[in-house]
Protein backbone atom coordinates (compact mmCIF):
# COMPACT_ATOMS: atom_id res chain seq x y z
CA UNK A 1 0.00 0.00 0.00
CA UNK A 2 2.78 2.43 0.92
CA UNK A 3 4.67 1.62 -2.27
CA UNK A 4 1.56 2.40 -4.30
CA UNK A 5 1.28 5.81 -2.66
CA UNK A 6 4.96 6.61 -3.23
CA UNK A 7 5.01 5.53 -6.84
CA UNK A 8 3.21 8.64 -8.27
CA UNK A 9 5.55 10.94 -6.29
CA UNK A 10 8.59 9.14 -7.63
CA UNK A 11 7.28 9.31 -11.19
CA UNK A 12 6.59 13.04 -10.77
CA UNK A 13 10.08 13.57 -9.41
CA UNK A 14 11.54 11.67 -12.36
CA UNK A 15 9.51 13.85 -14.74
CA UNK A 16 10.77 17.07 -13.15
CA UNK A 17 14.33 15.80 -13.22
CA UNK A 18 13.96 14.91 -16.90
CA UNK A 19 12.69 18.39 -17.69
CA UNK A 20 15.57 19.99 -15.80
CA UNK A 21 18.01 17.82 -17.73
CA UNK A 22 16.48 18.89 -21.05
CA UNK A 23 16.64 22.56 -20.05
CA UNK A 24 20.33 22.18 -19.15
CA UNK A 25 20.95 20.38 -22.48
CA UNK A 26 19.15 23.09 -24.47
CA UNK A 27 21.14 25.79 -22.67
CA UNK A 28 24.40 24.01 -23.43
CA UNK A 29 23.48 23.55 -27.10
CA UNK A 30 22.41 27.21 -27.40
CA UNK A 31 25.73 28.33 -25.91
CA UNK A 32 27.56 26.07 -28.36
CA UNK A 33 25.69 27.48 -31.38
CA UNK A 34 26.31 31.08 -30.27
CA UNK A 35 30.01 30.35 -29.81
CA UNK A 36 30.27 28.83 -33.28
CA UNK A 37 28.40 31.79 -34.81
CA UNK A 38 30.76 34.30 -33.19
CA UNK A 39 33.77 32.21 -34.22
CA UNK A 40 32.53 31.99 -37.83
CA UNK A 41 31.98 35.76 -38.08
CA UNK A 42 35.45 36.41 -36.61
CA UNK A 43 37.11 34.04 -39.08
CA UNK A 44 35.37 35.73 -42.03
CA UNK A 45 36.46 39.17 -40.87
CA UNK A 46 40.04 38.09 -40.22
CA UNK A 47 40.22 36.35 -43.60
CA UNK A 48 39.08 39.50 -45.40
CA UNK A 49 42.09 41.63 -46.42
CA UNK A 50 42.11 45.17 -45.12
CA UNK A 51 42.32 46.48 -48.65
CA UNK A 52 38.94 44.88 -49.35
CA UNK A 53 37.32 46.57 -46.35
CA UNK A 54 36.72 49.75 -48.27
CA UNK A 55 33.68 51.19 -50.00
CA UNK A 56 33.29 51.38 -53.76
CA UNK A 57 36.01 53.23 -55.63
CA UNK A 58 35.83 56.99 -55.32
CA UNK A 59 37.90 59.86 -56.67
CA UNK A 60 41.62 59.64 -56.08
CA UNK A 61 41.65 55.90 -55.35
CA UNK A 62 43.06 54.54 -58.60
CA UNK A 63 46.02 52.20 -58.72
CA UNK A 64 49.38 53.97 -58.51
CA UNK A 65 51.42 53.54 -61.66
CA UNK A 66 54.80 53.86 -59.93
CA UNK A 67 54.34 50.30 -58.62
CA UNK A 68 54.40 48.89 -62.15
CA UNK A 69 57.98 48.39 -63.47
CA UNK A 70 56.87 48.89 -67.07
CA UNK A 71 55.07 52.13 -66.29
CA UNK A 72 57.96 53.59 -64.26
CA UNK A 73 59.56 54.71 -67.51
CA UNK A 74 56.66 57.10 -68.13
CA UNK A 75 57.64 60.33 -66.41
CA UNK A 76 54.75 62.60 -65.49
CA UNK A 77 52.22 60.76 -67.67
CA UNK A 78 49.38 59.08 -65.85
CA UNK A 79 45.75 58.03 -66.01
CA UNK A 80 43.56 60.47 -64.11
CA UNK A 81 40.43 59.67 -62.18
CA UNK A 82 37.44 60.47 -64.41
CA UNK A 83 34.89 57.94 -63.09
CA UNK A 84 31.36 59.08 -63.84
CA UNK A 85 32.35 61.43 -66.66
CA UNK A 86 30.89 61.13 -70.16
CA UNK A 87 32.75 60.95 -73.44
CA UNK A 88 31.91 63.73 -75.95
CA UNK A 89 29.27 61.91 -78.00
CA UNK A 90 28.91 64.78 -80.48
CA UNK A 91 32.63 64.71 -81.30
CA UNK A 92 33.53 63.68 -84.85
CA UNK A 93 35.68 60.62 -85.42
CA UNK A 94 36.76 58.59 -88.46
CA UNK A 95 35.84 54.95 -89.00
CA UNK A 96 38.21 52.44 -90.55
CA UNK A 97 36.35 52.84 -93.88
CA UNK A 98 37.18 56.57 -93.92
CA UNK A 99 33.74 57.91 -93.00
CA UNK A 100 33.56 60.77 -90.50
CA UNK A 101 30.80 60.12 -87.97
CA UNK A 102 29.85 61.18 -84.46
CA UNK A 103 31.10 59.12 -81.53
CA UNK A 104 27.44 58.67 -80.54
CA UNK A 105 26.83 56.68 -83.74
CA UNK A 106 29.63 54.31 -82.71
CA UNK A 107 28.17 53.78 -79.24
CA UNK A 108 24.63 53.03 -80.42
CA UNK A 109 24.47 49.28 -79.78
CA UNK A 110 23.05 49.51 -76.24
CA UNK A 111 25.99 47.40 -74.99
CA UNK A 112 28.82 48.21 -72.58
CA UNK A 113 32.07 49.20 -74.30
CA UNK A 114 35.77 48.62 -73.71
CA UNK A 115 37.53 51.82 -74.73
CA UNK A 116 41.11 51.09 -75.78
CA UNK A 117 43.21 54.18 -76.66
CA UNK A 118 46.52 53.31 -78.35
CA UNK A 119 48.49 54.33 -81.43
CA UNK A 120 49.29 51.92 -84.21
CA UNK A 121 53.04 52.54 -84.46
CA UNK A 122 53.67 52.21 -80.72
CA UNK A 123 56.89 50.18 -80.27
CA UNK A 124 55.99 48.37 -77.00
CA UNK A 125 53.43 49.47 -74.43
CA UNK A 126 50.33 49.55 -76.65
CA UNK A 127 51.09 46.08 -77.99
CA UNK A 128 51.43 44.69 -74.46
CA UNK A 129 48.12 46.25 -73.40
CA UNK A 130 46.21 45.00 -76.45
CA UNK A 131 47.65 41.47 -76.37
CA UNK A 132 46.78 40.99 -72.71
CA UNK A 133 43.37 42.58 -73.23
CA UNK A 134 42.65 40.12 -76.05
CA UNK A 135 43.49 37.16 -73.81
CA UNK A 136 41.20 38.47 -71.10
CA UNK A 137 38.39 39.05 -73.59
CA UNK A 138 38.70 35.47 -74.81
CA UNK A 139 38.65 34.11 -71.25
CA UNK A 140 35.90 36.28 -69.69
CA UNK A 141 33.11 34.11 -71.16
CA UNK A 142 31.30 37.05 -72.75
CA UNK A 143 30.71 37.31 -76.49
CA UNK A 144 32.23 40.24 -78.37
CA UNK A 145 29.56 41.95 -80.47
CA UNK A 146 26.74 40.30 -78.52
CA UNK A 147 27.46 41.11 -74.85
CA UNK A 148 29.84 44.03 -75.31
CA UNK A 149 31.80 46.00 -77.90
CA UNK A 150 35.33 47.39 -78.02
CA UNK A 151 36.50 50.70 -79.45
CA UNK A 152 40.19 50.96 -80.29
CA UNK A 153 41.08 54.58 -81.01
CA UNK A 154 44.45 55.82 -82.22
CA UNK A 155 45.65 58.93 -80.42
CA UNK A 156 48.10 59.63 -83.27
CA UNK A 157 46.65 61.92 -85.99
CA UNK A 158 49.19 60.45 -88.42
CA UNK A 159 47.32 57.13 -88.37
CA UNK A 160 44.93 56.83 -91.32
CA UNK A 161 41.95 54.56 -92.14
CA UNK A 162 44.25 52.14 -93.99
CA UNK A 163 46.33 51.75 -90.83
CA UNK A 164 43.15 51.13 -88.86
CA UNK A 165 42.00 48.41 -91.29
CA UNK A 166 45.37 46.69 -91.22
CA UNK A 167 45.49 46.73 -87.42
CA UNK A 168 41.92 45.45 -87.17
CA UNK A 169 42.66 42.54 -89.48
CA UNK A 170 45.82 41.59 -87.55
CA UNK A 171 44.25 41.86 -84.09
CA UNK A 172 41.10 40.01 -85.11
CA UNK A 173 43.26 37.08 -86.19
CA UNK A 174 44.94 37.04 -82.80
CA UNK A 175 41.59 37.23 -81.01
CA UNK A 176 40.15 34.37 -83.09
CA UNK A 177 43.12 32.20 -82.16
CA UNK A 178 42.68 33.01 -78.46
CA UNK A 179 38.94 32.41 -78.68
CA UNK A 180 39.47 28.96 -80.20
CA UNK A 181 41.38 27.94 -77.08
CA UNK A 182 38.55 29.01 -74.77
CA UNK A 183 35.59 28.10 -76.99
CA UNK A 184 33.95 31.53 -76.86
CA UNK A 185 31.82 32.48 -79.88
CA UNK A 186 33.39 34.84 -82.44
CA UNK A 187 30.53 35.15 -84.95
CA UNK A 188 29.85 38.78 -84.03
CA UNK A 189 33.44 39.76 -83.20
CA UNK A 190 34.16 41.73 -86.38
CA UNK A 191 31.08 43.96 -86.17
CA UNK A 192 31.64 44.47 -82.43
CA UNK A 193 35.17 45.86 -82.77
CA UNK A 194 35.58 49.45 -84.00
CA UNK A 195 38.90 50.99 -85.03
CA UNK A 196 38.92 54.78 -85.11
CA UNK A 197 41.28 57.53 -86.22
CA UNK A 198 40.99 61.31 -86.44
CA UNK A 199 42.66 64.68 -86.08
CA UNK A 200 44.21 66.06 -82.90
CA UNK A 201 41.23 68.31 -82.19
CA UNK A 202 38.95 65.24 -82.39
CA UNK A 203 41.09 62.75 -80.51
CA UNK A 204 42.31 64.81 -77.55
CA UNK A 205 38.86 65.62 -76.03
CA UNK A 206 37.84 61.94 -76.11
CA UNK A 207 41.06 60.80 -74.42
CA UNK A 208 40.85 63.59 -71.84
CA UNK A 209 37.26 62.69 -70.96
CA UNK A 210 38.32 59.25 -69.65
CA UNK A 211 41.54 60.52 -68.05
CA UNK A 212 43.98 59.08 -70.58
CA UNK A 213 47.04 61.34 -70.57
CA UNK A 214 49.58 61.35 -73.41
CA UNK A 215 52.27 63.62 -74.82
CA UNK A 216 54.55 63.53 -77.85
CA UNK A 217 58.19 62.91 -76.96
CA UNK A 218 60.26 64.74 -79.56
CA UNK A 219 63.50 63.13 -78.43
CA UNK A 220 62.29 59.54 -78.85
CA UNK A 221 59.82 60.42 -81.62
CA UNK A 222 57.03 58.52 -79.93
CA UNK A 223 54.11 59.09 -77.58
CA UNK A 224 54.49 58.80 -73.84
CA UNK A 225 51.20 57.56 -72.37
CA UNK A 226 49.64 55.54 -69.61
CA UNK A 227 48.45 51.96 -69.86
CA UNK A 228 44.96 50.69 -69.23
CA UNK A 229 41.47 50.06 -70.51
CA UNK A 230 38.28 51.99 -69.82
CA UNK A 231 34.80 50.54 -69.40
CA UNK A 232 31.92 52.68 -70.69
CA UNK A 233 28.22 52.26 -70.12
CA UNK A 234 25.94 52.08 -73.21
CA UNK A 235 25.34 55.82 -72.70
CA UNK A 236 29.05 56.61 -72.87
CA UNK A 237 29.65 57.12 -69.13
CA UNK A 238 32.95 55.93 -67.66
CA UNK A 239 32.07 53.27 -65.05
CA UNK A 240 35.42 51.58 -64.42
CA UNK A 241 39.10 52.24 -65.14
CA UNK A 242 41.35 49.17 -65.39
CA UNK A 243 44.94 50.35 -65.15
CA UNK A 244 48.06 48.44 -66.06
CA UNK A 245 49.07 46.05 -68.80
CA UNK A 246 47.34 42.91 -67.49
CA UNK A 247 43.62 42.37 -67.06
CA UNK A 248 42.07 39.64 -64.95
CA UNK A 249 39.29 37.95 -67.01
CA UNK A 250 36.86 37.81 -64.08
CA UNK A 251 37.49 41.48 -63.31
CA UNK A 252 36.88 42.43 -66.94
CA UNK A 253 33.66 40.41 -66.96
CA UNK A 254 32.35 41.97 -63.75
CA UNK A 255 33.26 45.46 -64.96
CA UNK A 256 31.26 44.91 -68.16
CA UNK A 257 28.31 43.44 -66.23
CA UNK A 258 28.45 46.41 -63.87
CA UNK A 259 28.49 48.88 -66.78
CA UNK A 260 25.51 47.17 -68.43
CA UNK A 261 23.38 47.63 -65.28
CA UNK A 262 22.51 43.94 -65.21
CA UNK A 263 21.63 43.58 -68.91
CA UNK A 264 24.71 41.41 -69.49
CA UNK A 265 25.93 38.42 -67.50
CA UNK A 266 24.24 35.92 -65.20
CA UNK A 267 22.45 36.05 -61.84
CA UNK A 268 25.69 34.81 -60.26
CA UNK A 269 27.47 37.94 -61.54
CA UNK A 270 24.78 40.09 -59.94
CA UNK A 271 25.21 38.25 -56.63
CA UNK A 272 28.99 38.79 -56.75
CA UNK A 273 28.58 42.49 -57.49
CA UNK A 274 26.16 42.73 -54.55
CA UNK A 275 28.78 41.40 -52.13
CA UNK A 276 32.00 42.57 -53.83
CA UNK A 277 33.51 45.97 -54.61
CA UNK A 278 36.35 46.95 -56.90
CA UNK A 279 39.72 47.06 -55.15
CA UNK A 280 41.90 49.59 -57.03
CA UNK A 281 45.11 48.49 -55.31
CA UNK A 282 44.73 44.92 -56.57
CA UNK A 283 42.87 45.92 -59.76
CA UNK A 284 40.13 43.36 -59.12
CA UNK A 285 36.89 42.86 -57.23
CA UNK A 286 36.99 41.67 -53.61
CA UNK A 287 34.56 41.09 -50.72
CA UNK A 288 33.19 44.13 -48.90
CA UNK A 289 33.90 43.46 -45.21
CA UNK A 290 30.89 45.23 -43.68
CA UNK A 291 28.48 43.38 -45.92
CA UNK A 292 30.19 40.06 -45.21
CA UNK A 293 29.87 40.75 -41.48
CA UNK A 294 26.17 41.51 -41.87
CA UNK A 295 25.59 38.36 -43.88
CA UNK A 296 27.48 36.34 -41.26
CA UNK A 297 25.31 37.83 -38.53
CA UNK A 298 22.15 37.11 -40.52
CA UNK A 299 23.16 33.49 -41.06
CA UNK A 300 23.88 33.13 -37.34
CA UNK A 301 20.51 34.61 -36.34
CA UNK A 302 18.62 32.44 -38.82
CA UNK A 303 20.50 29.37 -37.62
CA UNK A 304 19.72 30.13 -33.98
CA UNK A 305 16.06 30.80 -34.79
CA UNK A 306 15.71 27.50 -36.61
CA UNK A 307 17.50 25.66 -33.82
CA UNK A 308 15.23 27.15 -31.13
CA UNK A 309 12.11 26.31 -33.14
CA UNK A 310 13.22 22.70 -33.39
CA UNK A 311 13.90 22.55 -29.65
CA UNK A 312 10.53 24.12 -28.83
CA UNK A 313 8.66 21.68 -31.03
CA UNK A 314 10.54 18.77 -29.54
CA UNK A 315 9.76 20.02 -26.02
CA UNK A 316 6.06 20.22 -26.88
CA UNK A 317 6.08 16.68 -28.19
CA UNK A 318 7.84 15.48 -25.04
CA UNK A 319 5.28 17.29 -22.85
CA UNK A 320 2.39 15.64 -24.69
CA UNK A 321 4.07 12.26 -24.32
CA UNK A 322 4.63 12.83 -20.60
CA UNK A 323 1.00 13.86 -20.09
CA UNK A 324 -0.15 10.73 -21.84
CA UNK A 325 2.10 8.59 -19.63
CA UNK A 326 0.82 10.37 -16.50
CA UNK A 327 -2.79 9.76 -17.51
CA UNK A 328 -2.06 6.10 -18.18
CA UNK A 329 -0.39 5.82 -14.76
CA UNK A 330 -3.38 7.49 -13.10
CA UNK A 331 -5.76 5.07 -14.76
CA UNK A 332 -3.71 2.16 -13.51
CA UNK A 333 -3.82 3.56 -9.95
CA UNK A 334 -7.59 4.04 -10.17
CA UNK A 335 -7.94 0.45 -11.13
* Pair 223, 306 in one domain: no
pLDDT of residue 109: 93
**pLDDT-based confidence at residue 49 (cuts at 50, 70, 90):** very low
Task: Say how many domains are in the chain.
Answer: 2
**pLDDT-based confidence at residue 79 (cuts at 50, 70, 90):** confident
Q: Is 262 left (phi over 0), alpha (psi -120 to 50) or beta?
A: left
Domain boundary pick from 269, 285, 301? 285
Tell which residue, 210, 97, 104, 95, has the closest CA to residue 153: 95
- Which residue range forms the structural domain that includes residue 295? 2-49+291-334
Q: Residue 248 and residue 286: Cα distance in Å, rounded?
A: 13
Angle at 226 between CA 223 and CA 227, to 5 degrees: 115
* Pair 120, 195 in one domain: yes
Rounded to two decimals, the pTM is: 0.65
* Pair 140, 251 in one domain: yes
* Pair 322, 267 in one domain: no
* Pair 36, 173 in one domain: no
In the predicted structure, residue 104 carries a pLDDT above the cut 90: yes
Tell which residue, 103, 115, 135, 113, has the closest CA to residue 212: 115
Over residues 215-231, the mean pLDDT reads 90
* Pair 208, 295 in one domain: no
| CATH number for the domain harbouring residue 246 | 3.40.30.10
* Pair 116, 19 in one domain: no
Q: Return the sign of the alpha-carbon dihedral for residues 218, 203, 96, 165.
A: positive
Domain boundary pick from 245, 263, 285? 285
In the predicted structure, residue 262 carries a pLDDT above the cut 80: no
* Pair 241, 107 in one domain: yes
In the predicted structure, residue 182 carries a pLDDT above the cut 90: yes
Amino acid sequence: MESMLLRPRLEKADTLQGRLSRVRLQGAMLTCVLSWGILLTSVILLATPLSAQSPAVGPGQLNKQEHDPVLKSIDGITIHDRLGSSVPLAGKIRRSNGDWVSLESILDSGLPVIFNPIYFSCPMLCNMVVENLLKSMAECDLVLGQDYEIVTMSIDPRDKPLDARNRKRALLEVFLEEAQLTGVSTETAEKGWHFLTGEEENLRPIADSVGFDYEWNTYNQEYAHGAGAFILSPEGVLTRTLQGIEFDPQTLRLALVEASDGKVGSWADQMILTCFVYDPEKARYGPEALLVMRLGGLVTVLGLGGFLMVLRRRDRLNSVSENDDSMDSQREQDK
